[in-house]
Amino acid sequence: MKPIFIQRLMRGMLPVTMVMLAGVWQAPVFADTCTQGGTCVTVNGSNAMSNEQARQSKEQWDASRSLRNKVNTRVEKEFDKVDRAIDDEERCDNSYNVNAYWEPSTRKCLDRTTGRQVTQ
């Protein structure tokens, strides 16, 4: 009598146990809401989390705009200095003044006899 009782109990409890195991297995998936790194399904592509992230990103971009402009202006000024120095060096080297020479440390065209800057 005991083996039949155990068989019936196993037949009745096995499906219930399997369903409960599947439910426990899937519980973290259902409990995980739209959090950072979580999986969210949205209908129209926008939810509160993505809207907030977009707002913060725009705010950070706007806040760093003046800094980006300053950096770009500085880079342009440095480029213009180097570009102007290259042009001045070429003009000095091609000058008809035989006493003119290019001083690389000061980026100026100087006269050999006087040491003064040569105007071209």
Q: Could you give the CA distance from residue 9 to residue 46 in angstroms, rounded to a whole number?
A: 50
Tens-binned pLDDT, residue by residue, of the chain (120 aa): 567 777 777 777 777 787 777 766 666 655 556 666 666 666 666 677 788 888 889 999 888 998 999 999 999 999 999 999 999 999 999 989 889 999 989 889 999 999 898 876
How large is the greatest C-alpha to C-alpha distance in the chain, in angstroms? Answer: 125
Q: What is the pTM of this model?
A: 0.45
Beta carbons of 109 and 102 less than 8 angstroms apart: yes
Helix (H) or strand (E) holding 28: helix 2-31
DSSP state of 80: H
φ/ψ (deg, to 5) at 55 = -65, -45
